[in-house]
Amino acid sequence: MNDEHSQTPSSPEHSIVSLEKLNKHFGSLHVLKDIDLDVTPGEVLVIIGASGSGKSTLIRCVNGLEEYQKGRLHVDGKELLPYGKSGQSLQAIRTEVGMVFQQFNLFPHLTVKANVTLAPLKVRGMTSQEADTTAERLLERVGIADQADKYPTQLSGGQQQRVAIARALAMDPRLMLFDEPTSALDPEMIGEVLDVMRELAREGMTMMVVTHEMGFAREVADRVIYIHQGEIVEQGPPHEVFDNPRNERTQNFLSRVLQH
């Protein structure tokens, strides 16, 4: 679309995520329409768009939480087949792709530390000592080392979301997906979660972030894409998309959200 503006020349070989003419339907509802998108290693891609435009569906296709019907999808060098037919390679992809959800989705029956060590123990086959060390390091990094033995419900929303980030990072992922990570938080807790994400971006993590935090997008994103009714109608570096949107729909959307 705006090829001359994309900072990162993207070809499938260099991309960590590559979508080619991807189409997704929920029954008769055409949710994603011929999506072409490449994400390069180290890139922070922010996805914006109105409610119901298909942002969540898009990133959930990347780790196979949603099936798609047509097109091609490669993640971390492996192909994800349509109709959920990927079999073993789907689990292999998920092992390398972390995801953070709007509702945190921490495991309430496990302590904070056990939430973080579960996948390293069961999927990576780490010893409990290795897993513990990793968990302590990551909880330290997201600023909640002192809460390790509590249960998720004993923490505030912001703390829970930081645990969820630590839990995903414990798998040492090559790519992180964020689906509105701050939308369920009280306003005073949004900052602490965005700080962790900012830090992660600075360290070079590849990130696909769905968010309504335009300030964060402007500051951290390498590229912003705007989705309207299942189509990417605008993309480019944040200053271009925000300050100089070309598409009328983008202008309308931005004037609505930036007012608040």
Ligand X SMILES: Nc1ncnc2c1ncn2[C@@H]1O[C@H](COP(=O)(O)OP(=O)(O)OP(=O)(O)O)[C@@H](O)[C@H]1O
Residues forming contacts to other proteins in the complex (CB under 8 A) are 63, 65, 91-92, 94-99, 101, 103, 105-111, 118-119, 122-123, 151, 153, 164, 167-168, 171
Q: Report the residue number, 65 or 114, with the smaller CB distance to Mg ion.
A: 65
Q: How far is the CB of 135 from ligand X (least distance, A)?
A: 30
Residue 106 binds which entry of other proteins, ligand X, Mg ion, none, with Cβ cut-offs from 5 to 8 Å by kind? Answer: other proteins
Q: Report the residue number, 97 or 131, with the smaller CB distance to Mg ion.
A: 97
Q: Report the residue number, 211 or 250, with the smaller CB distance to Mg ion.
A: 211
16, 40 in Cβ contact below 8 A?
yes
Footprint of ligand X (CB under 6 A): 26, 29, 31, 49, 51-57
Coil/strand/helix, residue 51: coil
CA 166 – CA 172 distance, rounded (Å): 10
Strand 17-26 and strand 70-75: pairing? Answer: antiparallel
Q: How far is the CB of 94 from other proteins (least distance, A)?
A: 5
Question: Which residue type occupies 245?
Answer: P
228, 219 in Cβ contact below 8 A?
no
56 binding Mg ion? (CB under 5 A): yes
Residue 101 binds which entry of other proteins, ligand X, Mg ion, none, with Cβ cut-offs from 5 to 8 Å by kind? Answer: other proteins
Q: How far is the CB of 101 from ligand X (least distance, A)?
A: 11
Give the residue among 149, 173, 163, 186 at the shortest CA–CA distance from 105: 163
Q: Report the residue number, 26 or 107, with the smaller CB distance to ligand X.
A: 26
Q: How far is the CB of 54 from ligand X (least distance, A)?
A: 4
Residue 49 binds which entry of ligand X, other proteins, Mg ion, none, with Cβ cut-offs from 5 to 8 Å by kind? Answer: ligand X
Q: How far is the CB of 124 from other proteins (least distance, A)?
A: 8
- If you write DSSP's letter for every residue of 55-103 in order, what string do you get? HHHHHHHHTTSS---EEEEEETTEEEPGGGTTTHHHHHHHHHEEEE-TT
Q: How far is the CB of 77 from other proteins (least distance, A)?
A: 16
∠186-54-10 over CA atoms, to 5°?
A: 105
Strand 97-100 and strand 175-179: pairing? Answer: parallel
Q: Report the residue number, 101 or 242, with the smaller CB distance to ligand X.
A: 101
Element (H, E) at 232: strand 231-236
Give the residue among 59, 10, 44, 49 at the shortest CA–CA distance from 222: 44
Q: What is the Cα Rg of the chain in Å?
A: 18
Binding to Mg ion in span 71-90, by CB under 5 A: none
Q: How far is the CB of 77 from ligand X (least distance, A)?
A: 26
Q: Report the residue number, 49 or 158, with the smaller CB distance to ligand X.
A: 49
Q: Report the residue number, 115 or 250, with the smaller CB distance to ligand X.
A: 250
Q: List residues binding Mg ion (CB under 5 A).
A: 56
